[in-house]
Amino acid sequence: MLESDVPTFFNIDYYSVIKIKRMLSVISHIVPYKPNIEKLARQAGTTRDSLLKYLFYLEKAKIVNWLTKDAFGINYMNKPDL
C-alpha cells in the first residue's frame, strides 16, 4: 500500500515513501508514543511541514489513527496527539 497506493493518490515521489517508512519505523519502536513533531521530522529526515503532510496521508489511507484534542480548522494539523 505504501509503495503503490499512497504515491498514486497523493502524488508523492519514491523518496517521500522512504521517509514515510522511516517515520513509521521510529513510531513503531516506541509505542505508546506521543511524538514531538520536530524531533520525529529530524529522525525521518524531513521537514516539519512534510511530516505533517505524510501523517495526514497515512491517516487518510487508514494506516494510522490520530487521537486528537478537540481542534478545528488549521489547529487540527498543528497539534496532532498521536
Cβ neighbour number for residue 69 with a 10 Å cutoff? 9
Q: What is the pLDDT of residue 68?
A: 61
Q: Exposure string (b/e) for 15-37, b if CB count within 10 Å is 16 or more?
A: ebbebbeebbeebeeeeeeebeb
Give residue limits of the domains in the chain: 5-78
Higher confidence at residue 72 or residue 43?
43
pLDDT of amino acid 48 = 92
Query: Between 1.10.10, 2.30.30, 1.10.287, 1.10.3470, what CATH number should domain 5-78 receive?
Result: 1.10.10
